[in-house]
Homo-oligomer: A and B are copies of this chain.
Amino acid sequence: MLTDERYSVIRNLLNKSGIVKTQDLMSMLNCSESTIRRDLDHLEEQGYLKRIHGGAKRIYHLDEELTAQEKSFKNTQEKTVIGKLAASLIEENDVIFLDAGTTTLAIIDFIKVGNITVVTNGVQHASLLSDYQVDTILLGGKIKASTKAMVGSSSLRNLEDYRFDKAFIGINGIDQEFGCTTPDPEEAAIKKLAIAASASSYIVADQSKWNKVNFVRVCDMSNVTIITNHSDIDLTSFKENTTILEAEK
């Protein structure tokens, strides 16, 4: 096991659980206490963690200036709570549509119920789902390189054959008047069709998406439920004609 491999393992563990114990790392990485201690020292110098008695914890400052890395972490955090809430809505025997995108990707880790079927247009999503032994159907079609999402007529045609219990859709903008929007017309077409084919549809969106408008409308504010994270944005006016679920930190 190389030094850098140990660093990766430790950072990954911290990202997941927020805290690591020296003893656990010793047995997990199969090396001595001194080595773990040195690793933690090094990672602390790099600013990745804070050493505490017995191990180390993730650093996460709320009110200070955020570095790019921390910001992306905060973003991940937001997506995690949204993903958790969304996953809790999934019931036994559901047939789900899971849209491509990072927010919907966060849902997968929290799916607890077995015996569901998921249809997705995200390549990574399909790969991860099948790792978790979930019955997975991937829409065929052209791959959009930037987002690893399936788009195009072939995907749309495949989608026409399905009916879902629930659809989880990612978007880029939410606007009171104009509704939910996304920049790519081809991706928007998939999202629209999935919403139409589903008994209930959920828009997952972190707070950065609110009060933004993008190129193509996916849906208006009625007929869908929006899952977002709690924030200081005032959503009372939205709530008049839209169901909003807020995930608490």
Contact = CB atoms under 8 A, between A and B. Distances in A.
A142 B136 contact: yes
A5 B142 CA distance: 32
A53 B130 contact: no
A32 interface: no
Interface residues of A, number: 47
A5 B138 contact: no
Chain A contact residues, majority secondary structure:
mixed
Nearest to A150: B138
Nearest to A57: B4
A5 B123 CA distance: 26
Contact of A138 (B52, B65, B138): B138
Nearest to A132: B145
A-B residue pairs, 5 tightest by C-beta? A140-B140, A130-B145, A2-B54, A136-B143, A130-B143
Interface of A: 2-5, 8-9, 11-12, 15, 19, 21, 52-55, 57, 63-68, 123-124, 126-127, 129-131, 133, 135-145, 148, 150, 154-155, 158, 161
Given A129-B143, A130-B148, A154-B158, 7 more contacts: A123-B123, A135-B142, A137-B140, A138-B138, A138-B150, A139-B140, A140-B150
